Amino acid sequence: MLGQRRVTTFVDRGEEYDVIVEGDEKQYQSPDDIDNLYVRSRTTNKLIPLSNLLNIGENATSSRLNRYNRLRSITVTANLADGYALGDALDFLVDVTKNKLPEHVQVDYKGESLLLKESGNSILFVFSLALLITYLVLAAQFESFIHPFVILLTVPLALVGALAGLDLMGMSLNIYSQIGIVMLIGLAAKNGILIVEFANQLRDKGIAFEEALISASQQRLRPIVMTTFTTVTSAIPLVLAVGPGAESRMVIGVVIFAGVSLASMFTLFIVPGAYYWLCRHTGSPQAIANEIAKQEQ
């Protein structure tokens, strides 16, 4: 009504021009100027002020309505303060949403937040799958389902050590620390393999169960200490890393250093004890072959 509006055209010297009706700008500079506008009534056929038909109010609203996953959405972006991780910020956002906003409000993620959520949800699956594959490979190697279980008892200890190291260094559980945790499955299991494999070899030679276990634990002590020392020492440069990308390398180094250290320390006690209680009624891998050889003689 107040904007420009083409109502007709006229021709002048062979050129056609638009005729545009435009209100006087001085008469609609504020909302109260609606009193200057009149419309004709259908019942009385008289002009009446437009203010008799409309009520004008002011309120704040968004200049644009965005949608995400087919729902009306508001995108919240922020920078993290010093000492706070992205996971802490997302937990705070979810807590505010539950306590301050209506129940129908939902929270979804984009960008780095989405990557963090996806990686956090997949670590359990990846870790479980890696643990299962390692168990099946060891079961095929040892021809037993109990011996690999004894070996992999050191993996939870390595996981505890890795999480304790991250907490002590003030680091978070991110994609790099998750990679290090998956690596710990192989690094922590190697010490248990040394003891169990050597004990089985001694039992294959006809040595008694307890004597074979004690002898394996004593003779494998030095290789375990040597391999642990080399693994932990190789992680020190990662822990002390500086320069671009140092944060990612440092996280992996801390996970390996703390996880392998704790797992190796308890391997000397957990693996022999578990082998003693769980494997005393099991035979060595070559027990059947040795029995057949004796009978053939």
Same domain, 29 and 159: no
Q: Average pLDDT of the chain? A: 84
Q: How far is CA 18 from CA 2, 7, 10, 11, 13, in A?
A: 17, 8, 7, 9, 14
265 and 160 Cβ atoms separated by less than 8 Å = no
CA separation for the pair 38, 52 (Å, rounded): 10
275 and 196 Cβ atoms separated by less than 8 Å = yes
CA separation for the pair 230, 222 (Å, rounded): 12
Same domain, 24 and 169: no
Q: Where are the beta strands (DSSP E) in the chain?
A: 5-12, 15-21, 38-40, 47-49, 66-68, 71-73
Residue 60 lies inside a defined structural domain of this protein: no
pLDDT tens figures, 48-89: 887 788 887 777 777 788 888 788 888 888 888 877 777 788
Residue 6 lies inside a defined structural domain of this protein: no
Question: Which residue carries 């059947």 as its tokens?
Answer: 288
Q: Which of 36, 52, 68 is the last residue of a domain?
A: 52
CA separation for the pair 55, 57 (Å, rounded): 7
Give residue 275's pLDDT. Answer: 92
Same domain, 26 and 158: no
Range of the domain at 46: 17-52
pLDDT tens figures, 179-229: 899 999 999 898 899 999 999 888 888 788 899 999 999 999 999 999 999
Which string of DSSP letters, residue by residue, matches 137-176? HHHHHHT-SHHHHHHTTHHHHHHHHHHHHHHHTT----HH
Same domain, 151 and 37: no
CATH of the domain at 130: 1.20.1640.10
CA separation for the pair 223, 210 (Å, rounded): 21
Query: What is the identity of the amino acid at 102?
Result: P
Q: How far is CA 290 from CA 20, 47, 80, 145, 223, in A?
A: 108, 116, 66, 21, 28
Instruction: Return the structure tokens found at 206.
Output: 């006809």
Same domain, 133 and 232: yes
Burial class (CB in 10 A: 0-12, 13-18, 19+), 269: exposed
Q: How far is CA 259 from CA 127, 160, 166, 175, 263, in A?
A: 15, 7, 10, 17, 6
Same domain, 159 and 251: yes
Same domain, 150 and 264: yes
How far from the centroid of its chain's Cα atoms is residue 217's Cα? Answer: 39
pLDDT tens figures, 252-294: 999 999 999 999 988 889 999 999 999 888 766 666 666 666 6
295 has a pLDDT exceeding 80: no
Same domain, 166 and 287: yes
109 and 194 Cβ atoms separated by less than 8 Å = no
242 has a pLDDT exceeding 90: no
Residue 262 lies inside a defined structural domain of this protein: yes
1 has a pLDDT exceeding 60: no
In the chain, the number of structural domains is 2
